[in-house]
Structure 1
Amino acid sequence: MKRTSSFRPHRTEREDRPDGSIILRSSYPLGPVVERTGDWLHHWASEAPDRVFVAERSGAGWREERFAAVLEKVRALAAALLARGMGAGTPIIVLSGAGVDHGLLALAAQYIGAPIVPVAEQYSLIHGAHNRLRHAVELVRPRMAYTVDADQYAEALALDIFDGIEIVASHTGGRSDVTAFDDLLKARAGADVDAAFAAVTPDTVGKILMTSGSTSDPKGVLTTHRMMCANQTQIADALPFLRERPPRITDWLPWNHVFGGSHNFNMMLANGGSLYIDDGKPVKGLFERTVENLSLMPGTLSFNVPVGFAMLVSALSGDKALRQRFFEGLDLIFYAGASLPQEVWEGLERMAFEVKGEIPLITSSWGLTETAPAALMQMEPTERSGVVGVPLNGVTVKLVPDPDMRCEVRVKGPNIMPGYFEAPEKTREAFDEEGFLITGDAMTFVDPGDLNRGLRFDGRISEDFKLLTGTWVRAAQLRLDLLSCLAPLAADLVVTGADRGEIGVMIFPNLAELEREGYALDEADGAMTDRLLLGDIHRRLAERDREFSGSSTRVSRAIVLSEPASMPEAEMTAKGNLNFRRVLQRRSALLERLYSDGDAAVTTL
């Protein structure tokens, strides 16, 4: 099929070392890198002053902020921060999600070298998650806290951790103890702002991003201007169409996460693009808002997680006008977080071709909060999901293979973090003796004979386990395979079997889909007993087992959980990832039921 967007062919170099490790790097040079995020803002305020940079819904339309006005407001906010004595040692914590004022404040903090610390809004809005908020505040010790609405966040703001911290809100609710965001905008920028901006260097920390905390307390990733600026050059080198015309996205991804808050936000800033904030989400009751937003302002790029694209394919299939609007100017479809189910991939290709006679690049990349985030990217068109590509320009990848050529991934480059905030021991543990970041992720070659076919993600090494037989189970990759097999019945799942004789699976159901399909959803003691549902799961797993033989991949039993994963109980992180160890610990009784024969809630194969 004809492709919409230009792409850069892979050109990868390989070095085989005597110790068995493999070094991969791009043979392309890294393009020019600006020193500070504020350099992008100055450039586009001059080159495209009236172009929309960031917007959010306001009534039936949008509140739009254009580049020149954004620079003016950022400098005013910077003056207000300096007047309070703020700078490199005075972090600003942000409690609420994506928003125009949030973006302005983040840029103002970076403009004068003060770190911005966005945390998941769930930490404040869910009573049981306040311990995560407390951990973040006590770790970074902010001078200021921002929220969009002081009334909505009142319970969190009443916590003793905010004693002595200035609270700023776009909507104060009339509270005298809260500073109005608009009051900060009244400050006048002068020579002090110019001097503070000039003092910002590539090594200045622009953000402290909290890790998900799926295995331990969240750590603060020191994110420098060098990391963010280099990464955008690396991405634009890989995707040349970003420089050919200003990109536009309508995006729901949260800004406390590196994907939405650094990758996407900075992509628009670096390339003179426009970010329209989608106040919907790919969940029941909010996805309708996403559809409305996309119909009002479709993007040239589409970023989402696989479940979001699955919901979008369903919506596009039934709405010709939306389908036309969505695809007619689209250059890129980018998925992350998990592999895109093949039927979703093919549905997107089919509809794109029907609309415009060509298809955009459908791709993904790989990286971590610690890598800013992109380190590998699939730049060339491919036909299937799960390929994460080759090293970006300036990134050096070290692969440490096992006998089956499954490789542990380590990385080095200008987009890699200097360390964790006030955690020297954890920082030392994060790097090997050569200074490569130890990621704990595993990769395999798509084609060992052709490096340019790229790498395929093959799970987290720490999630692997052994059966009683001594057989290793690669749980992370198996989970992705099973999610595809059980889609859309399963929202997520946990693979079990460590020190047991068989592989099992604990399934968190997609309740909206089950209700739509008319399952009875009978429940007993934390597990669903609906015979039709269990029968469908049994059939799908049995069909899969005929295709994938072997004890390391064969699932012998399954149980469907009736209670969703709990964030207050630490079963789920703010990024929506399951904490597998916590699920198994908290639901140990259900785990034992899974391995008992004759239980009505368990299907065995």
Structure 2
Amino acid sequence: MDQAVLDKTLAPFRPAELMPIDLDVTHRDDGAILIASRIPLAAYNANLPGAFAERAATSGDKPALAFREGEAWRYVSYAGLKRDMDAATQWLLGAPAGPVLILAPNSAAFAVMTFAAQASGRAVCPVSVTYAALGGDFGRLAHVITKVRPAVIFAEDTRASAAALQHLDLGEAVIVTTNPDQLSKPSIAYADLLATAPTPAVAASIAALKPDDRAALMLTSGSTGLPKVVPITFRNLAANSIQCMQTIGKAAGWDNVMLDWLPWHHAAGAFVLRATLLEGGTLHVDEGKPVPGLFDASVRNLRDVSVRYFNNVPLGYAMLADALEQDAVLRKTFFKDMRLMLYGGAGLSQTVYDRIQAMAVRETGHRIMMTSGYGMTETVSAFMVIHFETDKVGLGLPAPGSLVKLQPVGDRYEVRVKGPQVTAGYLDEPEKTAAAFDEEGFYRTGDLALFHDPGDPAQGLVFAGRAAEEFKLSSGTWVYGGALRDGLLKALSPHVTDLVLCDDGRPYLGVMLWAKPDAPRALLEEGLAVFNRSQSGGAARVRRALVLREPPSPNAHEISDKGTINRRAVIDRRAAEVDRLFADDPDAEVMVVS
């Protein structure tokens, strides 16, 4: 056994305060399995604007948010945020009723408008700035505006969104921006909101909020079409926050120094912002992203700020592993205080996990707890978490208050869930809402799972595919896309950053790859051949492969702001490359695999 792997296996985990395992597992006659934690859900305050007001009163001048400006950090205090939130809330109380749509990057103004909207009794709808920067007919943004019907649109910097705002029918929405001179449509300066003098009406509005009031309108990824709008209540938000606090909160230390890049318009990023501000921590906003050319900014920030908790998507961890192996200073600062690393539960490569743990052991003498946060927009964020020591990647176990049903699908289980964090459905889409829940009211995730050890459920669940990623070849044979993709990434690591399986109705399996610039073709071909020899069925063997020269395009929705690949968008946009894969006489760049 390789010495690094041996050291990683024998080294103890660095101490982390995690929730103990106490499971209730019920096997039903219909084959379904119900699994829940016996640990009760802790009490929580559903009035989140009220909870933030209490936190700001006790934290005062403590830094709440930090933004990189050159070589230094600019800090915004809790008192400063609260002052601006109260001013914006007062202004909103006098504005027309309706949701507040936010088009902004992660910024202090984004945080201010989020809490101000909720404090004034309005749902906030955060939208990716790429929706307003894509050009064309701005179809996705038009769809969201039509669905949400916002009363106020906060477009922080209209230099990026001016064309969309000018082109689209915004109804009666009032535009608020930091630079109204960029628009010909009437708009209000954000500075005018901040100059509004708060009255007792602000505190009265906050006190009147109810747990089942609508707090947010979050968008799904839209990977199979236009995004759905998910209404989220204060109860949903607060319940999910306390679930995560109970399972891993002490180890994560959201009341401590944080550094995170996840976009706040997405469920996972919104959770980080909410948890840090409600717990009294300091969130350093990482302007980097896990994509080539932008991850360097994250590396610079990680060399500068040591944190106890790190959160990223699988692609980000693959890039982090490369950076850590090449940078001794980064290894030192990254592992110095680290207690917990979180990844999206469905896709982390075991190989990447092992590489990072081997470096952790060499740097600290300990392994570092790596946990998954498995959830989706419809569940606010994670409802399953790895809160126990393990070297196996997976989905973990249910958080308190979550009842998970594992519904048999062949030799696997579809994951379904009930709990106070689960949305009631989609905005004005009764048919899609009905399809999203089963006859017992469990939300259908569409994800498939297995137990690591069926005889020991306490070892947790492992991802076993996503129904939407499974497709048939022309022979009628199913391709289990999620599991195959994970296996291929492991076989091709560290030479490939991501890949897409192709394609429905084809005679055999092809794959399009994003490889590192220095990855030799011979190594890729060898990795694919080794992978094929490990597969028992022909549908799981890759017959052809093509390295893509152009990186995934955010503007074409091929990659999300979280760094996840939209398989369908890639295949549809790159139809010519797909045709090359399956051509009768393939060109020289297409790898024909044995």
RMSD of the TM alignment (CA)?
2.4
Q: Which moved more, 1:477-486 or 1:441-450?
A: 477-486
Separation in 1 of the partners of 2:161 and 2:537? 52
Change in Cα spacing, 1:323 to 1:488, as seen in structure 2 (3 Å) is closer
SS in 1 for 2:540: coil
Where in structure 2 are the equivalents of 1:69-84 lying within 5 Å?
69-84=80-95
Separation in 2 of the partners of 1:10 and 1:357? 26
Q: Is the 8 A contact 1:8 1:238 kept in 2?
A: yes
Q: Is the 8 A contact 1:53 1:273 kept in 2?
A: yes
One-letter amino acid matched to 1:495: L
**Structure 1 residue 154: deviation in Å?**
2.2
1:299-356 deviation per Cα after TM superposition (whole angstroms, max 9, x unaligned): 2211111222222233333333332222212221111275333343233223333443
Residue 602 of structure 1 corresponds to 590
One-letter amino acid matched to 1:49: G
Q: Which moved more, 1:489-498 or 1:455-464?
A: 489-498
Residue 170 of structure 1 corresponds to 178
Change in Cα spacing, 1:129 to 1:371, as seen in structure 2 (3 Å) is farther
Separation in 2 of the partners of 1:118 and 1:157? 16
- Residue 36 (1) aligns with residue 44 (2): no
**Deviating 4+ runs (over 6 angstroms):** none
SS in 2 for 1:152: helix
- Residue 421 (1) aligns with residue 427 (2): yes
Where in structure 2 are the equivalents of 1:478-489 lying within 5 Å?
478-489=484-495
Where in structure 2 are the equivalents of 1:15-54 lying within 5 Å?
15-54=26-65
1:105-138 deviation per Cα after TM superposition (whole angstroms, max 9, x unaligned): 1011111221111111111122147211111112
Residue 458 of structure 2 corresponds to 452
Change in Cα spacing, 1:48 to 1:354, as seen in structure 2 (3 Å) is farther
Equivalent of 1:395, from 395, 399, 402?
402
SS in 2 for 1:418: coil
Q: Is the 8 A contact 1:128 1:569 kept in 2?
A: no
1:199-230 deviation per Cα after TM superposition (whole angstroms, max 9, x unaligned): 21111111111111111221101111111111
Separation in 2 of the partners of 1:503 and 1:424? 37
One-letter amino acid matched to 1:256: H
Residue 16 of structure 2 corresponds to 5
Separation in 1 of the partners of 2:370 and 2:109? 32
Q: Is the 8 A contact 1:214 1:578 kept in 2?
A: no
**Structure 1 residue 173: deviation in Å?**
5.1
Residue 339 of structure 1 corresponds to 347
Change in Cα spacing, 1:372 to 1:565, as seen in structure 2 (3 Å) is same
Q: Is the 8 A contact 1:232 1:270 kept in 2?
A: no
Q: Which moved more, 1:20-29 or 1:580-589?
A: 580-589
**Structure 1 residue 574: deviation in Å?**
5.2
1:409-454 deviation per Cα after TM superposition (whole angstroms, max 9, x unaligned): 1110000001111222221221112111111111111110011111
Where in structure 2 are the equivalents of 1:292-331 lying within 5 Å?
292-331=300-339
Separation in 1 of the partners of 2:496 and 2:136? 25
How many residues end up aligned between the 2 structures? 580
One-letter amino acid matched to 1:451: P
One-letter amino acid matched to 2:94: A
Separation in 2 of the partners of 1:571 and 1:57? 28
Separation in 2 of the partners of 1:240 and 1:502? 46
Q: Which moved more, 1:351-360 or 1:27-36?
A: 351-360
Residue 266 of structure 1 corresponds to 274
Residue 201 of structure 2 corresponds to 192
Change in Cα spacing, 1:362 to 1:568, as seen in structure 2 (3 Å) is closer
Separation in 2 of the partners of 1:183 and 1:27? 51
Q: Is the 8 A contact 2:290 2:563 kept in 1?
A: no
Structure 2 runs not aligned, ≥5 long: 1-11
Change in Cα spacing, 1:244 to 1:377, as seen in structure 2 (3 Å) is closer
Residue 109 of structure 1 corresponds to 117
Separation in 2 of the partners of 1:459 and 1:39? 41
Q: Is the 8 A contact 2:159 2:182 kept in 1?
A: no
Change in Cα spacing, 1:204 to 1:574, as seen in structure 2 (3 Å) is same
Separation in 2 of the partners of 1:301 and 1:274? 12
**Structure 1 residue 231: deviation in Å?**
0.7
Separation in 1 of the partners of 2:182 and 2:105? 21
Equivalent of 1:374, from 378, 382, 385?
382
One-letter amino acid matched to 2:377: T
1:491-514 deviation per Cα after TM superposition (whole angstroms, max 9, x unaligned): 43222354444222233x24xx21
Q: Is the 8 A contact 1:26 1:391 kept in 2?
A: yes
Change in Cα spacing, 1:566 to 1:71, as seen in structure 2 (3 Å) is closer
**Structure 1 residue 51: deviation in Å?**
2.4
One-letter amino acid matched to 1:332: L
**Structure 1 residue 180: deviation in Å?**
2.1
Equivalent of 2:250, from 236, 241, 258?
241
SS in 2 for 1:47: helix
SS in 1 for 2:315: helix
**Structure 1 residue 254: deviation in Å?**
0.9
- Residue 61 (1) aligns with residue 72 (2): yes
SS in 1 for 2:30: coil
Separation in 2 of the partners of 1:576 and 1:429? 28
Change in Cα spacing, 1:568 to 1:497, as seen in structure 2 (3 Å) is closer
Residue 524 of structure 1 corresponds to none
Separation in 2 of the partners of 1:568 and 1:2? 41
Q: Is the 8 A contact 1:486 1:537 kept in 2?
A: yes
Separation in 2 of the partners of 1:149 and 1:229? 30
Q: Is the 8 A contact 1:149 1:171 kept in 2?
A: yes
Change in Cα spacing, 1:472 to 1:187, as seen in structure 2 (3 Å) is same
One-letter amino acid matched to 1:102: F
One-letter amino acid matched to 1:602: V
Structure 1 runs not aligned, ≥5 long: 520-531
1:463-483 deviation per Cα after TM superposition (whole angstroms, max 9, x unaligned): 222345554321122112212
Q: Is the 8 A contact 1:146 1:168 kept in 2?
A: yes
- Residue 227 (1) aligns with residue 215 (2): no
Residue 522 of structure 1 corresponds to none
Change in Cα spacing, 1:469 to 1:286, as seen in structure 2 (3 Å) is closer
1:565-591 deviation per Cα after TM superposition (whole angstroms, max 9, x unaligned): 455555555554444344444544543
Where in structure 2 are the equivalents of 1:525-544 lying within 5 Å?
533=521, 535-544=522-531
- Residue 551 (1) aligns with residue 541 (2): no
Q: Is the 8 A contact 2:50 2:206 kept in 1?
A: no
